Amino acid sequence: MPLLIRHRLVGTAMFVGIGLAILFFRLMPLAPGATALPGPEVMLCVTLAWVLRRPDHLPAIIIVAMTLIGDIMLGRPFGLFSLFVLTATELLRSWALRWGDQPFVFEWLRIAVLVGLLLLGYRIVMLLFMLPVPALGPVMLQWLATTAAYPAVVVLLRLAGVRRPTAAELEMMGS
């Protein structure tokens, strides 16, 4: 098996493993009955950061499969969040190479805007189809928590070996 294909398979398997671990811990009753502030959407952060760093590791089908599993397990409307995440990741995939040489602050700002638009669009579609919509306050807090968690997720992914491709790797991929 060529090195490039093996590298992609390992990256995809690592993403799926991390995603399932995040889902597992999210479903665990760590503090039953406690009402706390909404936490960040860590899987969304991981997906967005991974697509910006290694778009070749995450085909759209893997992203959809992982978010559909999350929709089922977390009781969200089936496929709606997946649609918005897929749209966001495909936008990021097209911008990934252009953003590679810019400072992280600009990436963080763009991700904050993208996540905000994603959550707003998700909320609007839920309203249009008369689905139960969570209160705006917790959604805004979740957006803030997700935006604040993004740099930590990027650092953890960097420690796990997920980094932007080098010029030589880009040349091997044919970009």
> Does residue 81 contact residue 122 with C-beta atoms inside 8 Å?
yes
Sequence ranges of the domains in the chain: 3-25+40-162
Instruction: Provide the CATH topology of domain 3-25+40-162.
Output: Arp2/3 complex 21 kDa subunit ARPC3 (1.10.1760)
Answer positive or negative: Cα dihedral of 95, 65, 77, 19.
negative
Total Cβ atoms within 10 A of residue 26 = 15
- How far is Cα 136 from Cα 143, in angstroms, rounded to an integer? 11
Q: What is the pTM of this model?
A: 0.90
Could you read off the pLDDT tens digit of each residue along the chain, which spans 175 residues? Answer: 687 788 889 999 999 999 999 999 988 877 666 667 788 999 999 999 999 988 888 999 999 999 999 999 999 999 999 999 999 999 998 887 777 778 899 999 999 999 999 999 999 999 999 999 989 999 999 999 999 999 999 999 999 988 877 666 666 655 5
